[in-house]
Amino acid sequence: MAVNTELFISAIQSKPPIWQSKHPHHNNRIITRKLWSEIKEQFPESEGTSTCSSHTNALKRNKMASDYRDELIECERKKILLIEQKMASISDQSEKCDDYHFFMSLLPQMKKFGKLQKLRIRNKITQIIIDEAERMQFSQPRYEENYGGYITGNYPNY
């Protein structure tokens, strides 16, 4: 199974299209494969071992490096996208107005109420918003004396 290395090298050197990159037939696969098969016939004891394993390994390494490079680029793109999304959400949070913080301050108190009480409170809040929207729509600002313009007497006490 051992191949005489010097004979093997001289056989390859006798076929310049295999190793000389500037040779006109170097990029012709048909010719280079034919030349490699001639070398393989000269060394039948090396059957089963690749005579061009270094070339194949180099191609695999180049392909692997290219794949890793592509994966790295894709990973960097995803990272940039995540950072952009995070920055957008941070800016959204900083843009939340006082109304948001006001309603969030009501949340702990709302959690203490039962389901029916929550429905009544939500209904009252919704009715207040509807009343204000109607007032704005008809451009008739009415200011009531109680509770900043809201009449609480219209709502039944539960």
What pLDDT is attached to residue 147? 56
**Under 8 Å CB-to-CB from 32, ≥6 apart: which residues?**
17, 18, 25, 26
CA distances from 45 to 7, 12, 18, 53, 131 (A): 13, 16, 21, 16, 97
CA distances from 51 to 3, 16, 43 (A): 11, 16, 10
Q: What secondary structure does DSSP assign to 39-62, as a single string? A: HHHH-GGGTTS-TTHHHHHHHHHH
What pLDDT is attached to residue 131? 92
What pLDDT is attached to residue 140? 56
What pTM, to 2 d.p., does this model score? 0.31
Distance CA 150, CA 84 (A): 43
pLDDT tens digits for range 23-43:
999 999 999 999 999 988 888
Flag residues of the chain having pLDDT under 70.
1-2, 46-59, 61-63, 91-96, 139-158
Q: Yes or no: say if 52 and 29 are a contact pair by the CB < 8 Å rule.
A: no
Distance CA 56, CA 16 (A): 18
Distance CA 11, CA 27 (A): 19
Q: Yes or no: say if 155 and 149 are a contact pair by the CB < 8 Å rule.
A: no
